Amino acid sequence: MSIHEEYDRVFKALSSHVRRQILDDLKDQPLTTGTLCGNFAHLDRCTVMQHLKVLEDAGLVVAERRGRERWNHLNAMPIQDIHDRWIGPHAAAATARLARFKQAVEAR
């Protein structure tokens, strides 16, 4: 799979508010699939599992089997890669432009 396809999967995974909420839920600790399903009482278990599959395919969630339980762990590296590729450089460029604008305004 190309790097572009990997980025596409991550962006697709992040496009859903449910999947972003799942990632937020996993931010502090791994959770079982049952716990995650309980956090989305308005969705059936199958729907939550489909969202988890999209997150796994994007590499954002890693599932670990422990007996009958499935523990879901956040893998934030794909998000970090996107940050390093786009957000960081664009933010730095925007900050530099604002600093130059500020200097120009203050010089007047």
CATH of 1-75, one of 1.10.10.10, 3.40.50.150, 3.40.50.10860, 3.20.20.80: 1.10.10.10
Extended strands (E) in 15-93: 31-32, 61-66, 69-74
Instruction: Answer whether residue 91 shows pLDDT above 90.
Output: no
List the domain boundaries for the chain: 1-75, 76-108
Give the pLDDT band (50/70/90) at residue 4.
confident
pTM (2 d.p.)? 0.82
* Contact present, 58 and 12 (Cβ < 8 Å): yes
pLDDT reading at 93 higher than 90: no
Question: Can you state the percent helix, strand and coil of the chain, rounding each to 5?
Answer: 70, 15, 20
- For residue 45, the model assigns a pLDDT of 96
pLDDT tens per residue across span 6-54: 999 999 999 999 999 999 999 999 999 999 999 999 999 999 999 999 9
